[in-house]
Structure 1
Amino acid sequence: MRLPTLRRTRSTEPGPVSGVARLDRRTKRLTGRLRPGDIAVIDHLDLDRVAADSLVASGVTAVLNAKPSISGRYPNLGPEVLIKGGVLLVDGLGEDIFKGLREGQTVSIDGGTVLLAGEPVATGVRQDTETVAQAMADAREGLSVQLEAFAQNTLDYMKQERELLLDGVGVPDVRTRIAGRHVLIVVRGYDYKEDLDVLRPYIREYKPVLIGVDGGADALVENGYTPDLIIGDMDSVTDDVLRCGAEVIVHAYPDGRAPGLERVRGVGVDAITFPAAATSEDLAMLLADEKGASLIVAVGTHANLVEFLDKGRGGMASTFLTRLKVGGKLVDAKGVSRLYRQNISGSALLLLVLSALAAMASAVAVSTVGKAYLTVVSEWWNNLVFQLDNFF
């Protein structure tokens, strides 16, 4: 398949940009220590939207990517997010960017060249709206190949995890009572902040079991909630949230290896493992379903093919089968903030105030104390009018 040709920017591009370099080959880990004005140095093939949202939210000035931000395999969403967020993007810098820079050094970017103390370190492609749009158009041509690969991954996963999918074999026991209750699963994904905000009345009324998937547990805490369970490989949830009292379930590889277990135990928290080839958000849904949840509400999860591919993992095929498994129990809250907002119009507010005043006036008029009060007010008003007449 032909990779898209990313055109270099023209001479009208913005001038040099400077900032402190922060380096990490794992974008998710890097975003935790970025500060406004920093320059993020990453190694991220096909930059996805969730990672780009985190980079924009951190306030970085620029992103330097050792890999192509759009390889052409599929139309990934991250580069558009960065460009629209006003973040300078230079990609295809290669290994030179990691060999030539160290954490905390001040670097500048001139065109597609990264400079340290005026000397070039690496040269890549400085992206803009036009180059990203062209690369995305070229990448859409390769969707058929990715669709075939996705379908094959789905079949492979079904063969590998059919006992888990069909019979719940391997789902761990938990202390939290789930049977007959609603379950809210939060992933730090697309639009999770807005959707969580709109769901506040639902959470207050139904008091669902709150499950945070990795960083989704932090999202719950940031919104004033305490998660009942935390599920994931523990690479993005913070230590403080791990200690919040929630049950912790570490996502393990099918062979039982669980790299995140050591970290959890290191902060003094007990945990159990859940070995499976699925994604952590799928494990949360399978757990809720197997333990008898009456309804599963998902926030920030992946819901369509482009999002599955944008996640950039073959294991996303499990999400398709998991959604078939949980069936009618699942309510995807994605985009609910765009569908419905609790707005009160000015006319409705004025009507409410006038109604309240009318009710108060009626109550005062018919009560004994109210009548006496009205008599006093009437006499005061008559005296005031009499004094004004004498004055004029």
Structure 2
Amino acid sequence: MQRKGKRTVKGRVRVGRKTKQLIPKLAPRSIVVLSHENLDEVAADGLIAAKVKAVINAARTMNGTYPLEGPKRLLLSGIPIVEIAAEDFTKFRDGMAVMITDEHVMLEDGRKIPCKPFTEEAWEAGTKLAMQNVSRQLGAFIENTLRYADREKEFFIRPLQLPPIRTPISGRHAVVVVRGKGYRDDLYAIRDYIEDYKPVLIGVDGGADALLDCGLRPDLIFGDMDSITDRALRSGAELIVHAFPDGTAPGMARIQELELEASVIRAPGTSEDIAMLLAYEQQAELIVTLGTHTHMIDFLEKGRKGMASTMLVRMKIGGKLIDAKGVSKLYSRPYKLRRLWYIPAAALFPVLMLSFVHPGVRHMIDVIWLYVKLSLGSI
């Protein structure tokens, strides 16, 4: 950061409390106004990919409860972060012009909102505090996981109650795509595997957009439909909404607004866990996970205090489950005979070039061509 009071950023804002819903709507060079406690790595990567100009956060960017890489990634990408009081969030509206300094955010009507820059020094202090809290957080996380696992185990022991599924899954590989850490890189890394094996592509909420961004169309979309674009919902994939165990399904409202059709699965746990369980119950031969949450920091960043459903689902699925990183390391595309034409084509290329530049070769070609014409009676 430059010296206090010297740095300014000007632009128009986009406002949203939920970062995952705001990111798909961002135009490059926007200034985003968020209320995101502990700005996680996935959100940071999304903001970087959207080429935002600056971040105004009406919450603590890093509160020191657990280690966090998201804020540092933004700062290293040259995207400044300033924090404002929670009550000031409502003073912003979409399209408003603002100017940010290290001391305040000036609104277009002249009002000044006090702000505090979040710096690399602040990230280092937060990381130091977080490392002191890790043991306590881990203990609470394990206790929460075991408590909910005991409460939910009966549901996961029994077969999942599924509606009729149109997408053929039995006997095929299935790839479950979640918008988690490194999901874009992992998806590109297994493109050859997807092309060769033609697995069922299951997008979990924003994971469906990740598939479309890579030129792949999801076969099935599952989730609560809160972080997915209309484009993905209208892609032609089969839609299944994740409902609470009592049948409440907030995601159905959006499906109905778009005049689309969807079935419902009632289940506890996370959407990514139930998507894996769906593939398992439909007799998928192999289930490849991509971007899924697997450890304490992942879940704390997601706002969950435990991982009961993840533990139970993975215990049930067992050997059918493999991470995409494992696929990318172990799978090597078989050499196909139909591609052997590249070899002679590459060998002939310098010969063809030589025929155009070497006078002797050109004279020989002219003689051969004259002979062919004489033989055909053209002369």
Structure 1 and Structure 2 fold alike (TM over 0.5): yes
Report what 1:218 is aligned to. Answer: 209
Query: Is 2:148 the partner of 1:157?
Result: yes
Question: 3-state DSSP class of the match of 2:85?
Answer: coil
Residue 356 of structure 1, CA deviation: 3.7
Residues 279 and 315 in structure 1, CA contact (< 8 A), matched pair in contact too: no
Letter in 1 for 2:43: A
Matches of 1:335 and 1:126, distance apart in 2: 40
Residue 295 of structure 1, CA deviation: 0.5
CA distance 1:341–1:42, change in 2 (3 Å) = farther
Residues 21 and 38 in structure 1, CA contact (< 8 A), matched pair in contact too: yes
The within-5 A match list for 1:195-344 is 195-314=186-305, 316-334=307-325
Query: Is 2:38 the partner of 1:38?
Result: no
The within-5 A match list for 1:54-69 is 54-69=46-61
Letter in 1 for 2:176: I
TM-score by length of 1: 0.81
Matches of 1:218 and 1:232, distance apart in 2: 13
Residues 38 and 62 in structure 2, CA contact (< 8 A), matched pair in contact too: yes
Matches of 2:252 and 2:325, distance apart in 1: 30
Greater mean deviation of Cα atoms: 153-162 or 16-25: 153-162
CA distance 1:334–1:317, change in 2 (3 Å) = farther
Residue 336 of structure 1, CA deviation: 6.8
Residue 332 of structure 1, CA deviation: 0.7
Report what 2:374 is aligned to. Answer: none
Report what 2:42 is aligned to. Answer: 50
CA distance 1:293–1:25, change in 2 (3 Å) = same
CA distance 1:114–1:22, change in 2 (3 Å) = same
Matches of 1:160 and 1:171, distance apart in 2: 21
Question: 3-state DSSP class of the match of 2:93?
Answer: coil
Matches of 1:272 and 1:116, distance apart in 2: 45
Question: 3-state DSSP class of the match of 2:117?
Answer: strand
TM-score by length of 2: 0.83
CA distance 1:327–1:130, change in 2 (3 Å) = same
Report what 1:390 is aligned to. Answer: none
Query: Is 2:347 the partner of 1:377?
Result: no
Letter in 1 for 2:223: G
Residue 339 of structure 1, CA deviation: 9.4
Matches of 1:22 and 1:89, distance apart in 2: 15
The within-5 A match list for 1:92-111 is 93-111=84-102
Matches of 2:37 and 2:176, distance apart in 1: 28
The within-5 A match list for 1:87-126 is 87-91=79-83, 93-117=84-108, 119-126=110-117
Residues 24 and 229 in structure 2, CA contact (< 8 A), matched pair in contact too: no
After superposition, the CA RMSD in angstroms is 3.1
Question: 3-state DSSP class of the match of 1:161?
Answer: helix
Residue 240 of structure 1, CA deviation: 2.8
Residues 176 and 275 in structure 2, CA contact (< 8 A), matched pair in contact too: yes
Query: Is 2:7 the partner of 1:15?
Result: yes
Segments of 4+ moved more than 6 angstroms? 335-342
Report what 2:373 is aligned to. Answer: none
Residue 284 of structure 1, CA deviation: 0.7
Letter in 2 for 1:176: T
Residues 195 and 334 in structure 1, CA contact (< 8 A), matched pair in contact too: yes
* Residue among 20, 32, 41 paired with 1:28: 20
Question: 3-state DSSP class of the match of 2:20?
Answer: helix
Question: 3-state DSSP class of the match of 2:222?
Answer: strand
Question: 3-state DSSP class of the match of 2:95?
Answer: coil
Residues 183 and 293 in structure 1, CA contact (< 8 A), matched pair in contact too: yes
Q: Percent identity?
A: 45
Residue 119 of structure 1, CA deviation: 4.3
Residue 152 of structure 1, CA deviation: 2.1
Question: 3-state DSSP class of the match of 2:106?
Answer: strand
Question: 3-state DSSP class of the match of 1:261?
Answer: helix
Residues 64 and 89 in structure 1, CA contact (< 8 A), matched pair in contact too: yes
* Residue among 66, 69, 72 paired with 2:64: 72
Question: 3-state DSSP class of the match of 1:183?
Answer: strand
Letter in 2 for 1:299: L
Residue 153 of structure 1, CA deviation: 2.3
Letter in 2 for 1:332: D
CA distance 1:329–1:156, change in 2 (3 Å) = same
CA distance 1:13–1:113, change in 2 (3 Å) = closer
Letter in 1 for 2:314: R
Residue 11 of structure 1, CA deviation: 2.9
Letter in 1 for 2:364: V
Letter in 1 for 2:95: G
Question: 3-state DSSP class of the match of 2:274?
Answer: helix
Letter in 2 for 1:273: V
Matches of 1:154 and 1:120, distance apart in 2: 47
Residues 157 and 277 in structure 1, CA contact (< 8 A), matched pair in contact too: no
Residue 160 of structure 1, CA deviation: 3.1
CA distance 1:352–1:226, change in 2 (3 Å) = same
Matches of 1:338 and 1:13, distance apart in 2: 50
Question: 3-state DSSP class of the match of 2:175?
Answer: strand
